[in-house]
Amino acid sequence: MKKIATVLTAIDFSDSSDNAFQMALSMAKSFSAQLLVLHVINEPVDLRGFYVPHISFEKLEDEIEEGAKKMMESFCRLNIHDFENYESLIVPGLPYEQIISQGEEKSADLIVLGTHGRSGLDHVLFGSTAEKVVRKSKIPVLTVRLEE
Ligand code: AMP
């Protein structure tokens, strides 16, 4: 049987991805696997002040990256307690492309995603990132639905 040595979970800081992250963490612990926690800074960048409350146009990219790093640090501090075998990654790009390419680059054995994210399209079966990753990834994908 193929060993699951690396689990990649992609987070967009939504409740749905928080929930999927918890599943990925449990699996990484059960398999004694490494957990990769990936956030993709959506490009073209979301300018609605999600990462930084005020937008400084001169240093926009730096501020966005800095804001994303802080969110990731605080997410990991809050959610990963005694588990040390993890790495966090922040990359710019299209979320579905980066989730697949980072998974391949880091030789992940499993990708764990929420069925939905920040797009708020709760009525559709899958969000567009989830749907594209499921359709295009060669690595097995587990999608986790948040029960309300
Ligand atoms: P969506 O298909 O956009 O509704 O999102 C479905 C799932 O894809 C989320 O629950 C996350 O697990 C993942 N995801 C979406 N956007 C991102 C992003 N920018 N960075 C990392 N993961 C993401």
How many domains does one find in the chain?
Answer: 1
The answer to the question of residue 1 being in a domain is: no
- Write down the pTM of the prediction: 0.90
Distance (Å) of CA 118 to CA 2, 25, 58, 59, 90: 33, 21, 27, 25, 17
114 touches 17 (CB < 8 A): yes
Give the pLDDT band of residue 145 (cuts 50, 70, 90): very high
- Per-residue pLDDT of 71-113, as tens digits, reads 999 999 999 988 999 999 999 999 999 999 999 999 999 999 9
Nearest residue (by CA) to ligand 1, atom 12, is: 113
**Which residues are registered as beta bridge partners of 35?**
7, 86
Write a three-state SS string for the chain.
CCCCCEEEEECCCCHHHHHHHHHHHHHHHHHCCEEEEEEEEECCCCCCCCCCCCCCCCCHHHHHHHHHHHHHHHHHHHHCCCCCCEEEEEEEECHHHHHHHHHHHCCCCEEEEECCCCCCCCCCCCCHHHHHHHHHCCCCEEEECCCC
Task: Name all residues whose Cβ lies below 6 A of ligand 1.
Answer: 10-12, 14, 16-17, 20, 38-40, 42, 95, 113-114, 116-117, 119, 127-130
Work out which ligand 1 atom sits closest to the CA atom of 21. 12
CA of 73 to the centre of ligand 1 (A): 18
- Which residue's alpha carbon is nearest to atom 19 within ligand 1? 40
Q: Per the structure block, which two tokens stand in for 18?
A: 């928080």
pLDDT for 23 beyond 80: yes
| CATH value at residue 129 | 3.40.50.620
**Residue 115: which domain range?**
6-145
Q: Is 30 helix (H, G, I), strand (E, B) or coil?
A: helix
Cα 12 to ligand 1 centroid, rounded to whole Å: 5
Query: 57 lies in a domain?
Result: yes
User: Can you give the pLDDT at residue 44?
Assistant: 67
CA–centroid distance, residue 57 to ligand 1 (Å) = 26
Asked if 14 and 116 count as a contact pair (C-beta separation under 8 A), the reply is: yes
CA of 66 to the centre of ligand 1 (A): 20
* Backbone φ, ψ for residue 109 (5° rounding): -95, -15
